[in-house]
Chains A and B, each alone.
Chain A
Amino acid sequence: MTRRPLGALLMAFAALYAGASALAAPPLGQADDLDAVMSLLATRQHGRVEFVEQQFLAILNHPLESSGELRYDAPDHLEKRTLLPKPETLVLLRGGLTQERGGRTRVIDLHRYPEILPFIESIRATLAGDRAALERVFHVDFAGSLQRWSLTLVPLDRELLHTVKQVEIDGSKDQLLRVEIRQADGDRSLMTLRTPAAP
């Protein structure tokens, strides 16, 4: 077996974490730079968003589409509930990933693949609003304003580059709108997020 699927998994998790960022709304700051965005993200405690994810895989003739919702509770509990095309629940807790699908529960160990570890840790740092930790692993490019920002993350580690080329996260204030992960093999995934309409 090759390590290639890991890249995909990795990206999926980046999306998972990033998705979690698009959650509830603490009071706004005035700054319009990376630090301001980070501190905004850091204050978030929990929330819920809907997602639509498209996966463009070279092996398939057309993209795979899935949708569902993300729930987040600070500091390290993240749940991805996919409703379509097949119901599935993924729970990330303390580095362990539990998948529930078709009546079966599987535990998938992220630490089995060392190349994922720094990546997950740095996303965790983003959620925590820890810019320094983020920059230890990625080259971080910030563009735009607090109203409309875009974060481009490129792994510093060459090994890591063999799986993930780049992660792009677009957002507005403390809301994440779009997460795109590009894999080294050309496959990519695109997740768009929106806060569900108030009941």
Chain B
Amino acid sequence: MNRQRMRVLAPWLGCLAIASFVVARAHYITDLSAFLPAKPTPTQQLLVEQLRDGPTSRLILIAFEQGDAASRARLSVSTAARLRRDLEFSSVNDGEPTTQEADREFLFQHRYLLSDRVSAQRFSEAGLHAAIADTIEDLASPAGLLLKSLLPDDPTGEMLHIIDQLQRTAAPTTNDGVWVSPDGERTLMVAQTAAGGSDTDAQERALSAVRAAFAAAVQESSSVAAQAVRLKMSGPGVFAVAARAKIERAAVRLSIISSLLVVTLLFSVYRSFPALALGLLPVASGALIGVAAVALGFGVVHGITLGFGITLIGESVDYSIYFFVASRSRPDDAAAAPWQRTWWPTIRLGMLTSVCGFASLLPSGFPGLAQLGLYSISGLIAAAAVTRYVLPALLPKGFAIHDVSPLGRRIVGMLGPVREMRQPILAALAAALAALALSVLILHRDTLWNHELSALSPISPQEQEFDAKLRRDLGAADVRDLVIVTAATQDAALELAERAARALDPLVAARTIGGFDNPANYLPSAATQAARRGSLPDAQQLADRVQAATKDLAIHSERLQPFVQDVDAARQAPLLTPQNLQGTSLRAGYEALVLGQANRWHALLPLHSVESQPIDTARVIAALQAAQLGEAQVLDLKLESDSLYANYLHEAIRLSLAGMVAIIVLLLIALRSAIRVVRVLAPLLLAVLMVAVGLVICQVQLTILHLVGMLLIVAVGSNYALFFDRQATLHEAGSEASTLASLAIANASTVIGFGLLSFSQVPVLVALGTTVAPGAFLALLLAAALSRA
């Protein structure tokens, strides 16, 4: 006997040890990528990069509210100064000029390579005359007077032109030296983290750093008004950190509560601690092996898999319930064999049905779903195997749980009236119900599914609204459309960006777009730089031309000697490379717009809208095509991510239907009777339909997680239906009570677990909970009602 036990237990323990090893060494990730495609097209690849680590993913929008304006401004300056010393941030901007000193130095020194007005014509005698006369006229304006001291070095006004070139869009309103919202109610700051947006840990550190810097600034300030100022933050990083915390909180809290409730339920049924401990063995083994399988199969484990996986294989708690209740009915030693003959095939078939359902998740391009599929399949197989082979081996001699058949008899009594109805009437009722449900769904077919990725976002509408408000205040910082040009080298990408910019300029004039950013404004392509440098005359030529050009102007040519020297120096200076941007804030701006991998470089030209109106991308595409830039892509970030999600949704619906077909085939093979298959599936499909109708009536739009939930209804419910089917073939009136009792207990534990999810704040959990809890209950109810007594 002991030896026989060891033959079962040793492989099990061995498997658990290996699984533990794999689980301990696995790599876990919690970023968005569970929701992003695994095998992206080049456009999707760019989108994914943008969403994960692109410049917009690294922005933290910071607002100071309440207190008085002067205190807010002082705190903003003081907080920004602290953050600029922090290496977590690549740039911190609150409208102050401090960061701009190095930038100006760079721009001024290289003005003849950077200005797009530099040409041979401009440096001819006539060109110089026009340019210098223009600059002198500018001096008459108070704003132009800023240029007075620059006149001897830069009489053609290139410096101001470069600054204009870089600031295509209006800066936020400024008051007391810092950015403020148009209503003046809050002070604004934008920090860009050094780490990518997908690095949630780094984002969390950055947010803490902002809070700490603000707290230190408040402490340092002696004013009372400063104490009243409140710090608020928004942006992708803030959302990612909040979402993770929310999901973690919800997952931890809900799993603790549901574990407690399920354990209490099981204990009140079993009235035995060993039974309770043994009963949890299948699900625990399944969870461990499920994670290990995902780690081995995918290399990494998504947080979502850990969070939901255990819920998906909650069905395996039921296995031990069925086992204990069935073995209770014949508590003597020889009883194990009949259980294995009578009920194990049914449990196995139920498990295989679930596996078929979950297998439909496996080919999903959505890594989160594919992982959940693998986890559930391996977890359920492991749990079922543990129930079949390990539990009987571990069962102590004379083990018996509390008798549950009285409960079963009460349920049988309650089913009485339904069971007395004639079979055709029941079938007709079920068909009518199904037809009614279907017609409701067909009526709502256009609004049935939610096609927006944001439907899955755990961020509340209030938080999204605050984010949108901050972005509006900051002046259209929210980039939705990007023009992307791609080339083999960084320089070639810049050349394409320059061509794209020439095609886009007329659209700015026509107000199709409000403006655009261009990496070539920070660093022109080598060819462009060389052309500009080549158009500069030598010192003697320039001196002669300046003398001739200024003859009738208000300035003596001798005063422009510094200009002649600067131009001569520029003629001999080397061309700029990305290294030259080092130490300036321009580098962050440039690197945000040029993404490179090996021999594939992308230059991004983010488009700004006119007064927040949607951009007519068709006209942008037409302009680019007219400029022979057919290979340039126009990426609408929101549209792309929504269509990405919509693709998943359609794929998931198709795969679920395929899973359904697989389940039907499986049942046909196992039951060898079409009528039995119909009888098994009818209550499940009816339950799914009724849940869908319920959600529609409650004005819930279905998401991909609702679909997963429906799959779960079929997976869990198939056990119930199969049990009734098996019971009907047994012709043992006495055993029905205990079968019904075990199903009722299993169902209660499922409804508790998923019902709790409905109370969370996380949409994906709510979707799962509100689908499965009522669905599982309905499945049992319908399966019982439609079964033959």
Q: Chain A interface (Cβ within 8 Å of chain B)?
A: 1-2, 4-6, 8-9, 12-13, 15-16, 53, 55, 57, 59-62, 64-66, 80, 82, 85-86, 88, 90, 94-97, 99, 101, 104-109, 111-112, 114, 187
Q: Using an 8 Å CB-CB cutoff, how does the interface string of B90-110 with A read, 1 for contact, 0 for none?
A: 000001110000001000100
Please determine whether B145 and A59 come into contact, CB atoms closer than 8 angstroms: no
B505 at the interface (CB under 8 A from A): no
Q: How far is the CA of A16 from the CA of B70 in the complex (A)?
A: 25
CB pair A97 B177 closer than 8 Å: no
A2 and B149 within 8 A (CB): yes
CA of A15 to CA of B178 in the docked complex: distance in angstroms? 25
Chain B 129-169 per-residue mask, 1 if CB under 8 angstroms from chain A, else 0 = 00000001111111101111111100000000000100100
Interface positions, chain B 241-270, Cβ under 8 Å from A, are none
Question: Contact: A60 with B150, CB < 8 Å?
Answer: no
Whether B177 lies near A57 (C-beta < 8 A) is no
B75-122 with Cβ < 8 A to chain A: 95-97, 104, 108
B733 at interface (Cβ–Cβ under 8 A)? no
Give chain B residues whose Cβ lies under 8 Å from the Cβ of A1.
Answer: 104, 108, 149-150
Choose from B96, B138, B139 the contact partner of A57 (Cβ within 8 Å): B139
Complex CA distance for A69 and B148, rounded to whole angstroms: 23
Tell yes or no: B443 within 8 A of A by CB.
no
Q: A96-B175, A107-B174 are in contact. Are A5 and B149 (CB under 8 A)?
A: yes
Residue B184 CB within 8 A of the other chain: yes
A97→B184 CA distance, assembly (Å):
16
- How far, in whole Å, are A94 and B137 apart by their CA atoms in the complex? 27
Which of B95, B147, B555 is A109 in contact with, Cβ under 8 Å?
B95
B73 (CB) vs chain A CBs: closest residue = A111
User: Size class of B's contact patch?
Assistant: 35 or more
- Given A60-B555, A61-B554, A111-B177, verify A9-B146 contact (CB < 8 Å): yes
Most chain A CB neighbours (cut-off 10 Å) among B136, B146, B164: B146
- The verdict on B25 contacting chain A, using a C-beta distance below 8 Å, is no
Show 24 residue pairs from A and B whose CB-CB distance is below 8 angstroms, ordered by the A residue. A2-B149, A5-B150, A6-B146, A9-B146, A12-B141, A13-B142, A60-B136, A61-B554, A61-B556, A82-B141, A88-B141, A88-B143, A90-B141, A94-B175, A94-B184, A95-B176, A96-B175, A97-B143, A101-B141, A106-B167, A107-B171, A107-B174, A111-B175, A112-B96
Q: Check if B559 is an interface residue, CB within 8 A of chain A.
A: yes
* Cβ-based interface call for B510 (8 A): no
Contact indicator A4/B149 (Cβ below 8 Å)? yes
Measured CA separation A54–B559 after assembly (Å): 21
A76 CB → nearest B CB, Å: 11
When A86-B137, A111-B176 are in contact, do A105 and B145 touch as well, CB less than 8 Å? no
Q: Give CA–CA (A111, B94) in the complex, Å.
A: 13
Query: Once the chains bind, are A12 and B555 in contact (CB under 8 Å)?
Result: no
Shortest distance from the beta carbon of A16 to any chain B beta carbon, whole Å: 7
Question: Is B170 a contact of A105 with CB atoms below 8 Å?
Answer: yes
| Contact assessment for A5 and B148 in the assembled complex, using a CB-CB cutoff below 8 Å | yes
Once bound together, how far apart are the Cα atoms of A30 and B173, in whole Å?
43
CA distance A166 to B712 in the complex (A): 83
Across the two chains, which residue of chain A brings its CB closest to B108? A1
Q: List, in ascending order, chain A residues with CB within 8 A of B175's CB.
A: 94-96, 111
Tell whether, in the assembled complex, residue B170 and residue A55 are in contact, meaning their CB atoms are under 8 Å apart: no
Residues in B with CB closer than 8 Å to A95 are 174-176
Question: B554 — which chain A residues lie within 8 A by C-beta?
Answer: 60-62, 64
Which residues of chain A have C-beta atoms less than 8 A from B555's C-beta? Answer: 59-61
Name the residue in A60, A95, A99, A187 with the highest tally of chain B Cβ atoms < 10 Å from its Cβ.
A60
Given contacts A13-B142, A65-B140, contact A96 B173 (CB under 8 A): yes
Distance in angstroms between the alpha carbons of A94 and B179 in the assembled complex: 12
Chain B, range 525-549, C-beta contacts under 8 Å to A: none
* Residue pair A4, B141 in contact (C-beta under 8 Å): no
Residues of A within 8 Å of B138, CB to CB, are 86, 101
| Chain B residue contacts of A5, Cβ below 8 A | 145-150
A111 touches B164 (CB 8 A): no
B563 to chain A, nearest CB (A): 12
> In the assembly, what is the distance between CA of A8 and CA of B146, in Å?
7
Known: A9-B146, A60-B554. A107 touches B170 (CB 8 A): yes
Q: In the assembled complex, which residues on chain A have CB atoms less than 8 Å from the CB atom of B184?
A: 94
Q: Which residues of A contact B167 (CB under 8 A)?
A: 106
Closest CB in chain A relative to B116 CB, distance in Å: 15
Distance of A125 from chain B, by nearest CB (Å): 16
- Nearest chain B residue, comparing its CB with the CB of A88: B141
Given contacts A1-B149, A94-B175, A109-B177, 7 further A-B contacts (CB under 8 A): A8-B142, A57-B148, A64-B136, A82-B140, A99-B141, A106-B164, A107-B170
Interface centre among B97, B136, B141, B147 (most CB of A within 10 A): B141
Residue of A nearest to B151 (CB): A59
Contact of B148 (CB < 8 Å), options: A4, A88, A90: A4
Does B151 lie within 8 Å of A16, measured CB to CB? Answer: no
Known contacts A2-B149, A59-B559, A61-B556; A86 and B176 CB within 8 A of each other: no
A97 to B146, CA, bound (A): 13
A39 → chain B closest CB, angstroms: 28
**CB-contact partner of A66 in B140, B149, B152, B164, under 8 A:** B140
